[in-house]
Chains A and B, each alone.
Chain A
């Protein structure tokens, strides 16, 4: 292992290795910033170009992209409330309010640092669990997937920023949307209104772009002025205040990184689920949960650390079993196969050097992407000072083009537009958008895993309570549901409510 690490380190300092890593970081940052694109698109786009490269160089390029996409996505999420990639959506909730308060530098500094440290923690975890990978991944079967999804859905109650009932309603609406399309359990199609486009269900990227980017642009278009309503501080000092905030909230960082790594390692869940769970966990453990959604720096640190840590975790099933943890990993699997590297337990024995090149590239790209982000942050915050009537049409245009580019389907553009209008109405009537997104992501997983579990146990419900991991997740779910209710009942108004 040490020999392979040293060889990978040597490669990093050769002109070829360093160049491919740097190109990967720049591409990753660019694709991260552009709404609707992201790591999957970037790797898919560059995959054919790696064909004639040495495997080690290809790993440098791909590792560079993976590590940098998250940092790029957080910039757009904080400055424009437009998640560059789907997992960055959770960063919007507190990153954007901070930008509105003139603290964009603080948020970017914290996001970049949390992202780097989260990525490094994920990589350390990956190296540590390589010997016991198989046992960990095999712990999760359909009952655990169901309980995990149920826990995510019940976490809705915690992620509503005080709007408990309306959060649950948004969650229910999100579940309704998650039922649209082909149903893997029965093989039928539901709620498609006769549209073939909806057979694949509600596409996540157009839905997220609409709910966050388009709706926010409509909101700005109505309100006018600039994004920042107060004096902006994009100074070097405020950026480094963000760096310091991450170390001050080290528990949130570790918690987010642990969630990111674990969720990343579970095939089929991915970075978006990890980021949202990290956000709700940060809120649950915060001393000031009431300030979440209004610009709490912990709401940036939690999801950003999870977002980058998930890459280390997602590599575990990808490398060990050839089971991709996410769409990005599925494309990465293609790169491995293209280079004659068959994923599976033998990969680490036969091509240890290549794997360590990837791990090292992933670590180095996290650091380089953060340094670039920190250096340009003070200039990037100027975006928040631009007149919204200049910004709005440009962001809406780029959002629609990005959404179309993903699958080259005009239906995605229409869907983003519809979700944009829905998102704005949700803003106006104070229905939290975050809960709808969590339900939209987890609804399909919950339903599928539920029926798979019952099939496994010949209809016996006890399967959810007789397996230790499932039982632990079940208890955590009950805790998530009971906690806010107890909190609300115990909360006594200090004075009689005035006549409204």
Chain B
């Protein structure tokens, strides 16, 4: 029976495989001159993904592929980033702060959202004092406004609610 070396890494390979297949199918709808290169890249991605998946199984083929593909050098189990494994909860929260900020910029604009985002991030996520959070939010927002809008006349995005498009 084949034993998987690292299920998480195989999951990553499967995602790439799915991307390759979807991209290849998507390429089919375009005329030949527009789709020749994308199809080639789609097939190459699928082959590379299959090799990546095969390399993560503890078989003779897997070991040979790992050596050629440089996966042993990458240090699948000893990489510095892999050594510090944060929980997925923390990762999702950190990502949601970015997603939330972008969504708020889109709706309320850069100038209205930025101080609020900085204040909330520092106070709630960073657990800083209200005073430090508010001070940083005001300083950064003023610096952005002076540099971009006042000095260089770059209008900051007003947001969908205030006339942005």
Residues of A within 8 A of B (CB): 34, 45, 160, 162-166, 168-169, 172-173, 175-176, 179, 183, 185-186, 188, 190-191, 214, 217-218, 221-223, 290, 387, 389-390, 392-394, 396-398, 400-401, 404-405, 408, 410, 413-414, 417, 420-421, 424, 427-431, 447, 450-451, 484-485, 488-489, 491, 493, 497, 499-500
Report yes or no: A172 in contact with B44, Cβ–Cβ below 8 A.
yes
| Structural contact, A400 and B125, CB atoms closer than 8 A | no
Chain B residues bordering chain A, tally (CB within 8 A): 79
Nearest chain A CB to B29 CB, angstrom units? 9
Of chain B, the residue at the smallest CB distance from A427 is B81
**Complex Cα–Cα for A352 and B5 (A):** 67
Give 1 or 0 for each of B34-45: 1 = CB within 8 Å of chain A CB. Answer: 110110011011
User: Do B45 and A165 touch (CB < 8 A)?
Assistant: no
The complex places the Cα of A281 from the Cα of B127 at a distance, in Å, of 45
The 8 Å CB contact of B98, one of A169, A179, A214, is: A214
**Is A488's CB under 8 angstroms from B74's CB?**
no
B131 lies within 8 A of chain A by Cβ:
no
Q: How far is the CB of B56 from chain A (nearest CB, A)?
A: 9
A427 vs B12: C-alpha distance when bound (angstroms) = 12
B91-A222 in contact (CB<8A)? yes
20 A-B pairs with C-beta separation under 8 A: A163-B71, A165-B69, A169-B48, A172-B44, A172-B45, A185-B34, A191-B38, A214-B98, A392-B121, A392-B126, A393-B117, A398-B140, A401-B156, A410-B105, A413-B102, A413-B106, A417-B99, A420-B98, A430-B79, A491-B67
Q: Which of A191, A217, A427, A500 contacts B58 (CB 8 A)?
A: A500
Residues in chain B near residue A398, CB distance under 8 A: 140, 144
Question: How many angstroms from the CA of A497 to the CA of B59 in the assembled complex?
Answer: 12
Closest to B106 in A: A410
CA distance A392 to B101 in the complex (A): 12
Q: Is the CB of B58 within 8 A of A160?
A: no
Chain A residues contacting B125 (CB-CB under 8 Å) are 221, 389
Tell me, yes or no, whether B150 is within 8 Å of chain A by CB. Answer: no
Q: Knowing A169-B45, A186-B34 touch, does A430 contact B67 (C-beta < 8 A)? A: no
Chain A residue nearest in CB terms to B49: A169
- Residues of B with C-beta under 8 A to A404: 110, 156-157
Residue of B at shortest CB range from A485? B68
Partner of B126, one of A186, A387, A500: A387
Docked CA distance A400–B31 (Å): 37
* Least CB distance, B69 to chain A, in whole angstroms: 3
Report B111-147 CB contacts with A as 1/0, cut-off 8 Å: 0001001100110011110001000100011001001
B163 within 8 A of A: no
B35 CB to nearest A CB, Å? 8
Q: What CA separation (Å) do A99 and B1 show in the bound complex?
A: 46
Q: Give the contacting residue for A421; candidates B34, B99, B121, B141; CB below 8 A.
A: B99
When distances are taken between beta carbons in the complex, the residues of chain A under 8 Å from B12 are: 429, 431
Asked whether any CB of chain A lies closer than 8 Å to the CB of B95, the reply is yes
* Structural contact, A396 and B122, CB atoms closer than 8 A: no
Q: Contacts A162-B73, A500-B77; is A396 near B101 (CB within 8 Å)?
A: yes
Nearest residue (CB) in A for B101 is A396
Residues of B within 8 A of A185 (CB): 33-34
Residues A408 and B31 in contact in the complex (CB < 8 Å), given A179-B37, A223-B86: no
Bound Cα distance from A409 to B40, whole angstroms: 33
A221 in complex: contacting residue of B71, B94, B105, CB < 8 Å: B94
The answer to whether A183 touches B34 (Cβ under 8 A) is: yes
Max chain B C-beta neighbours (<10 A), residue from A218, A392, A393, A424: A393
**Cβ–Cβ contact A172 & B82, under 8 A:** no
Q: Does B154 contact A (CB under 8 A)?
A: yes
Q: Within B69-98, which residues are at the interface with A (CB < 8 Å)?
A: 69-74, 76-77, 79, 81-82, 84, 86, 90-91, 94-95, 97-98
The answer to whether the Cβ of B162 comes within 8 Å of any Cβ in the partner chain is no
Interface centre among B38, B79, B84 (most CB of A within 10 A): B38
Is B48 a contact partner of A168 (Cβ separation < 8 A)?
A: yes
B118 to chain A, nearest CB (A): 4
Q: Cβ of B19 and Cβ of A173 under 8 Å apart?
A: yes
User: Counting CB contacts under 8 A, is B51 at the interface?
Assistant: yes
* Contact residue among A218, A221, A401, A450 (Cβ-Cβ distance under 8 Å from B148): A401
Which residue on chain B has the smallest CB distance to residue A447?
B37
Shortest Cβ distance from residue B120 to the other chain A in the assembled complex, whole angstroms: 9
Task: Known pairs A397-B140, A430-B79; list 7 more (Cβ under 8 Å).
Answer: A190-B34, A222-B94, A393-B117, A394-B136, A400-B105, A405-B148, A500-B76
Partner of B45, one of A45, A173, A500: A173
CA distance A223 to B90 in the complex (A): 9
Find the A residue at minimum CB distance from B123.
A389
Q: Which of A169, A188, A223 contacts B30 (CB 8 A)?
A: A188
- Complex CA distance for A401 and B109, rounded to whole angstroms: 10
